[in-house]
């Protein structure tokens, strides 16, 4: 009887704490220190410099603590990771040494990022965490899983591998988070997501976070969530308004010297310099590190372990400047980036938006600087048209633009007016489900990483026994065919042709 009484008393304490939390949130408490959270979580939030909840956090936290399934539409940089990490860390039973929360992310980089963020919030409470992703030995991860982490962050493919190998215990999972759900479905993880969800207990809280909510996301929620509440969070101050955007018109041969002087003048505290190619990153790094030893570089051609090591060091402040390709533009969340520098005008307009979004995050302000050489002016003007506003020029010198012959100009206009631009063109590669180990996500990622290609340019990917047929839209088929000449997938080149 004494045990039953103790359990009842403990439950009353938990219920009382929950009521206090709901009352606090409902009364508009503005500071984390006034929330009825575990003292060790408050300590972690204070160490991170988190004093006040952001909009997405103040709206979602009480609902997650109440056990409500949620679909949350929120942009990257809105504070959504902490929105689910804080209540999950609060609710996990540290004494129960079994996985209690599973967070799924579409990429290795994002999985590592989310794991590091949630570790920062739950570390003082004594919680254990692990991240599971490809290109890391299964045996290392299997040993981590044997330690029974409270929280698992994983990519769908590697999570499925561990489930099939019976390396992971899922019977005590109380929280499932699907982060960047739209990106996950675009990358072809739908079947794996469904297979993983079917292995989880029905009695759980399911949280779906996404920048957009297309029909596929709604379908997923209808199948696997219980009366989910839909929440759409718009930032009080759009990121773009917190970023001062400028450009300098520079001579291509003097670009590096100009950038050195500009950095000396700007005196940035923390900077990312974006380049369009891996070769540019390597060349610029060789020059910059002689001038500034607090510089590091990352791109997709580097070993993953080295890339992640440099990323972690940059986040911790061991380096002030990171030189990177667009690999780092998505999924890299680092507080305190004061400047983003585009060493060249990006080929993809959307990449520009993702690049500059690394600064001006949450409650910070930032500066985005683009260096434009004469041959890039036309592309830069097209970028301004895409953005819908002019970016002010702060100086430099642009040579007169070379005259375009009427023949070339007319040819260009004919290309723009071509009805082919809106027609899907099929191309194919000699690799299918029977003669390669490729997945749709490998092909999709390879095409999306090609210069000048965005998601809207990619149609249906149809994998057959020995060939894969790919639909390409908007007249981009020649770019993709050319891109496959140098784009390796799983370490191998696959030539493409019109199908």
pLDDT at 42 over 80: yes
Residues 283-306, mean pLDDT to the nearest whole number:
86
Minimal CA–CA distance to 298: which of 318, 317, 316, 272? 272
Per mean pLDDT, which range of 137-151, 345-359, 392-406, 451-465 is the poorest? Answer: 392-406
Bridge partners (DSSP) listed for residue 339? 271, 367
Rg (CA), the chain: 25
Q: What is the pLDDT of residue 196?
A: 95
CA distances from 67 to 70, 87, 121, 493 (A): 9, 10, 20, 48
pLDDT at 329 over 80: no
CA distances from 478 to 95, 482, 494, 496 (A): 58, 6, 15, 10
Beta strands in 133-228 (DSSP E): 151-154, 175-178, 205-210
Token pair, residue 315, equals: 């986040």
Residue 410 host element (H or E): helix 406-417
Going by C-beta distance under 8 Å and a sequence separation of 6 or more, which residues neighbour residue 405? none
Q: What is the pLDDT of residue 68?
A: 93
Per mean pLDDT, which range of 64-78, 200-214, 310-324, 329-343 is the poorest? Answer: 329-343
What are the pLDDT digits (tens) for 123-154? 899 999 999 998 788 999 999 999 999 999 99
Token pair, residue 215, equals: 């029909």
**What domains are defined for the chain?**
2-232 (3.40.50.300), 239-396 (3.40.50.300), 419-498 (3.30.70.330)
Going by C-beta distance under 8 Å and a sequence separation of 6 or more, which residues neighbour residue 254? none
Q: What is the pLDDT of residue 77?
A: 59
Between these two residues, 109 and 201, which has the higher pLDDT value?
A: 201
414 alpha-carbon distance from chain centroid:
38
Going by C-beta distance under 8 Å and a sequence separation of 6 or more, which residues neighbour residue 235? 55, 75, 77, 78
- What pTM value is reported for the model? 0.56
Q: Give 267-297 as a DSSP string.
A: --SSEEEE-SSHHHHHHHHHHHHHH-TTEEE
CA distance 240 to 359: 10
CA distance 166 to 159: 11
In the structure, what pLDDT confidence band is assigned to residue 362 with cuts at 50, 70 and 90?
Answer: low
pLDDT at 443 over 70: yes
In the structure, what pLDDT confidence band is assigned to residue 17 with cuts at 50, 70 and 90?
Answer: very low
Between these two residues, 316 and 165, which has the higher pLDDT value?
A: 165
Q: Work out the angle between the directed axes of helices 2-26 and 55-65 (0-180°, nearest 10).
A: 150
Residues above pLDDT 70, as percent of the chain: 84
What are the pLDDT digits (tens) for 157-186? 999 999 999 999 999 999 999 998 887 887
Q: What is the pLDDT of residue 332?
A: 67
Minimal CA–CA distance to 443: which of 458, 426, 423? 458
Average model confidence (pLDDT) for the chain?
81
């Amino acid at each position: 009887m004494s045990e039953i009484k103790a359990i009842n008393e403990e439950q009353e304490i938990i219920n009382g704490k929950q009521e206090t939390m709901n009352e606090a949130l409902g009364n508009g408490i503005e500071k984390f220190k006034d929330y009825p959270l575990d003292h060790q979580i408050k300590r972690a939030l204070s160490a991170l410099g988190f004093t006040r909840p952001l909009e997405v956090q103040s709206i979602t936290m009480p609902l997650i603590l109440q056990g409500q399934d949620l679909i949350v539409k929120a942009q990257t940089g809105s504070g959504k990771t902490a929105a689910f990490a804080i209540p999950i860390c609060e609710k996990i039973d540290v004494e129960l040494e079994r996985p209690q929360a599973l967070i799924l992310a579409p990429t290795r980089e994002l999985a590592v990022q989310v794991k590091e963020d949630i570790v920062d919030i739950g570390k003082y409470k004594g919680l254990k965490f692990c991240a599971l992703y490809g290109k890391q030995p299964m045996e290392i991860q299997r040993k981590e899983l044997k330690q029974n982490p409270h929280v698992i962050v994983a990519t769908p493919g590697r999570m499925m591998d561990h489930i099939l190998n019976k390396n992971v215990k899922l019977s005590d999972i109380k929280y499932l988070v699907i982060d960047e759900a739209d990106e996950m479905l675009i990358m072809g993880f739908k079947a794996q997501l469904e297979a993983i969800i079917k292995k989880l207990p029905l009695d759980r809280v399911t949280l779906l976070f996404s920048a957009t909510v297309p029909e596929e996301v709604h379908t997923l929620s209808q199948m696997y969530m219980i009366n989910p509440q839909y929440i759409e969070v718009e930032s009080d101050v759009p990121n773009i308004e917190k970023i001062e955007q400028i450009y300098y018109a520079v001579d291509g041969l003097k670009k590096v010297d100009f950038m050195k002087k500009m950095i000396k003048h700007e005196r940035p505290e923390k900077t990312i310099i974006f380049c369009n190619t891996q070769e540019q990153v390597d060349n610029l790094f060789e020059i910059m590190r002689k001038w500034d030893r607090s510089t590091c570089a990352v791109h997709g051609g580097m070993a993953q372990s080295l890339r992640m090591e440099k990323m972690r060091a940059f986040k911790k402040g061991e380096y002030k400047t990171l030189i990177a390709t667009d690999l780092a533009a998505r999924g890299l969340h680092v507080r305190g980036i004061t400047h983003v520098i585009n060493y060249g005008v990006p080929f993809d307009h959307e990449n520009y938006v993702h690049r500059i979004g690394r600064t001006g995050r949450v409650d910070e302000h930032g500066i985005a600087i683009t260096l434009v050489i004469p041959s890039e002016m036309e592309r830069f003007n097209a970028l301004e048209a895409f953005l819908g506003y002019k970016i002010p020029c702060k100086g430099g010198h642009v040579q007169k633009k070379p005259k375009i012959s009427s023949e070339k100009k007319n040819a260009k206009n004919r290309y723009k007016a071509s009805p082919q631009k809106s027609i899907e063109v099929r191309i194919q590669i000699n690799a299918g489900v029977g003669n390669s180990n490729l997945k749709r996500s490998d092909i999709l990622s390879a095409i999306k990483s090609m210069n000048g290609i965005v998601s809207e340019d990619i149609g249906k990917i149809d994998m057959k026994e020995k060939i894969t047929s790919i639909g390409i839209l908007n007249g981009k088929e020649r770019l993709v065919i050319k891109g496959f000449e140098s784009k390796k997938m799983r370490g191998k080149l696959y030539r493409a042709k019109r199908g």
